[in-house]
Chains A and B, each alone.
Chain A
Amino acid sequence: MSSESTPTKPEIHYPSSEGTDNGKTEAHVRTIANLLLTVLDHFRERSDVYVIGDMFWYYEEGSVEKRCTPDLMVVKGAKPGPPKGRMCWRSWVEEVTPCFVLEIISELIPAEDLNTRLQLYRELGVSEYFLFDSRRECPESRLRGFRLLRSNDNPSSRNDETLPLEGDGWIFSRELGLRLTPQGQVLRAINPSDQISESQMKDLVEHVRTMKRESAVLRASEAAKLRELERKTEFFRQLADAEQLRADKFLAEIEELRRRFPPRNN
């Protein structure tokens, strides 16, 4: 217990996170866990796609201060990392810039900090960056997405376009090919062409179970269909055999008759 005089309960605010990377809210961790999994899974056949969260990105060689820590970033065309994984991302070593960045807004990030970060990502040439604020109810402030306009090549005066909010509040990320969709307090990535709506663990497990059941049912009904076809085929085969026998009998009779009564003209 605190040795100081305890202030009255209602006045105490317990921050969930500091300005520096530190403790995170449950919604934050769940969002990162799910996005990490979904995006890794989505790009499972691309060894050059690197997905990482909460890693220091140093963008100027020689300066330890010139760094940022996106909550999630995705790099395409990444070199294979060291066997035990990367410890940090150094632009001059990697020679490629992340194409996607997500920041999860927490209570202690001032608006100007946010603008500074956005400006930084623009200057660094990040193609798409998204801001997610799980505490906001209003869709417009809950999820925001920006895409860099490449027309201006001067990094400090680059512009971006705001990506449109669609449907019930999702934004399509062209870089990921996934829909970023807020669900409850968590942001998920959904593959629009996939049958499953998300790669969340329990859903996947449930989905696998359902698929197993369905495939068993399918197999059973197909087996029945096959047996029915086989039965019909067999029936017609026997019918054909009988008809063949009948035809052969008549042909033999014809043969016999022709032998006995050779036709005059032939």
Chain B
Amino acid sequence: MSSEVIQPKETIFYPSSEEEPMAESEIHLRTMMFVILMLQEFFRERPDVCVLGNLFWYYEEGNRDVRRAPDIMVVKGVDPAPQGYRDNFQSWVEKETPCFILEIASESTWEEDQNAKKNLYRDLGVLEYYLYDPKMQYLDAPLLGYRLLTRENANEELESEYEELIPHADGSIFSRELGLILRPEGSRLRLVNPLTRIPLLEPLETSERFHQLQDEMKRSREASEKQLREKDEALRQSNLRAESERQRATEAEQRAETERQRATDAEQRAESERQRALEAEQRAVTERQRAESERQLAVTERQRAIEAENEISRLRQELEELRRRNPVTEE
């Protein structure tokens, strides 16, 4: 507990930052970190471009008390990581001056950003200076941009001034030093490719895209596995059908063969039956003929018998006649 007198709740102010914090709030920190990550990615192929965040910039050799830690500064013509990462940036060692500085406005710094810092960066020769107000509560516009303009004054001395860059209708400003359009979109600062007009993906968008892609690939893998399984099954079915049709055909062929055999047998049997019938018929004809001739023979015989009988009767009558006429004495 504080040893001081406790003030009533409503009037206590809890500062969000000290005099020179790295970040003041959630949005401040995220904006700063994500813009750094995006710019580092954007300049990945440029080994001479260094994107630094909140690094102490010492600009006077021998004087460790004059320094600034801009939220984001970009330096060109230096090694991004000479011997590991930098602990600070010393102008006279690096022999370069940041060409781009972005300050994110916060409660405790926004006034200084617009005055003392702006003048300092101008005097140090920072070509572009931007102020971004993610909460739109400190500055006149969400994004202010300045470009250093050097010209001769009346006394023929070179004089540098910051010329305010006029934002487009959507508040965006093209940064020549970055080669990107800075576009404030609510609480985030979009970095837009001026040729394609497509914003760089934010880190969480990239990772989201990554997860989406991972999911998509998983789904498409599953779908194609399913398709493969289906095609495999179709092949198996088609193979099975071919096999069963082949079996059916073979069986049918065998049965047909049997039937053909049966038909042949039946034909042969029919043929032999006919033969047998024919023979029987002939035999019958023969028999009939024989029977006929026998019958005729019998008829003839009977006629002969009748004739003989008749002869006998006649002879007997003749004999009778004779006997009557010439009676024979009985012995």
Interface residues of A (CB under 8 A from B): 1-2, 4, 6-7, 9, 12-17, 20-27, 29-30, 32-34, 36-37, 40-41, 44, 52-56, 58, 60-67, 81, 84-88, 90, 184-186, 196, 199, 201-202, 204-205, 207-208, 211-212, 215, 218-219, 222, 225-226, 229-230, 232-234, 236-237, 239-241, 243-244, 246-251, 253-254, 257-258, 260-261, 263
Interface centre among B20, B29, B227 (most CB of A within 10 A): B29
Query: 19 more A-B contacts (CB under 8 A) besides A12-B64, A62-B1, A85-B26?
Result: A1-B61, A2-B60, A2-B63, A15-B88, A16-B88, A44-B211, A52-B26, A58-B14, A67-B14, A84-B135, A87-B16, A184-B84, A186-B85, A212-B213, A230-B231, A233-B231, A237-B242, A247-B248, A250-B249
Distance of B129 from chain A, by nearest CB (Å): 18
- Expressed in whole angstroms, the Cα–Cα distance for A1 and B201 within the complex equals 41
- Whose C-beta in chain A lies nearest to the C-beta of B40? A201
- Residues of chain A within 8 A (CB-CB) of B44 are 202
Distance of B251 from chain A, by nearest CB (Å): 8
A-B pairs with beta carbons under 8 Å apart, 13 shown: A14-B58, A21-B18, A23-B20, A26-B55, A36-B30, A44-B211, A53-B33, A55-B26, A85-B25, A226-B224, A234-B238, A240-B242, A263-B262
Stretch at the interface among B163-171, B190-198, B253-261, B301-309: B253-261
Asked if B54 and A29 sit within 8 Å, CB to CB, the answer is yes
- Whose C-beta in chain A lies nearest to the C-beta of B37? A201
Asked if B248 and A236 sit within 8 Å, CB to CB, the answer is no
Residue of B18, B22, B245 touching A240 (CB-CB under 8 A): B245
- Residues of chain A within 8 A (CB-CB) of B63 are 1-2, 4, 6
- Residues of chain B within 8 A (CB-CB) of A186 are 85
- Expressed in whole angstroms, the Cα–Cα distance for A44 and B60 within the complex equals 45
Interface residues of B (CB under 8 A from A): 1-2, 4, 6-7, 9, 12-27, 29-30, 33-34, 36-38, 40-41, 44, 52-56, 58, 60-64, 66-67, 69, 81, 84-88, 90, 107, 135, 187, 201, 203-204, 206-211, 213-214, 217, 220-221, 224, 227-228, 231-232, 234-235, 238-239, 241-242, 244-246, 248-249, 251-253, 255-256, 259-260, 262-263, 266-267
Residue of A33, A61, A247 touching B53 (CB-CB under 8 A): A33
Residues A37 and B245 in contact in the complex (CB < 8 Å), given A7-B62, A14-B58, A233-B238: no
Distance of A250 from chain B, by nearest CB (Å): 3
- Residues of chain A within 8 A (CB-CB) of B37 are 33-34, 37, 201
- Residues of chain A within 8 A (CB-CB) of B41 are 201-202, 205
Asked if A243 and B248 sit within 8 Å, CB to CB, the answer is yes
Asked if A37 and B207 sit within 8 Å, CB to CB, the answer is yes
Asked if B21 and A22 sit within 8 Å, CB to CB, the answer is yes
Asked if B52 and A26 sit within 8 Å, CB to CB, the answer is yes
- Residues of chain A within 8 A (CB-CB) of B203 are 37, 199, 201, 204
Asked if A204 and B255 sit within 8 Å, CB to CB, the answer is no
Asked if A62 and B25 sit within 8 Å, CB to CB, the answer is no
Asked if B22 and A22 sit within 8 Å, CB to CB, the answer is yes
Distance of B255 from chain A, by nearest CB (Å): 6
- Expressed in whole angstroms, the Cα–Cα distance for A215 and B213 within the complex equals 10
- Expressed in whole angstroms, the Cα–Cα distance for A9 and B33 within the complex equals 33
Residue of A55, A60, A207, A250 touching B255 (CB-CB under 8 A): A250
- Whose C-beta in chain A lies nearest to the C-beta of B242? A240
Interface centre among B13, B56, B64 (most CB of A within 10 A): B56
4 A-B pairs with the lowest CB-CB distances in the bound complex, closest first: A85-B26, A250-B252, A63-B2, A23-B56
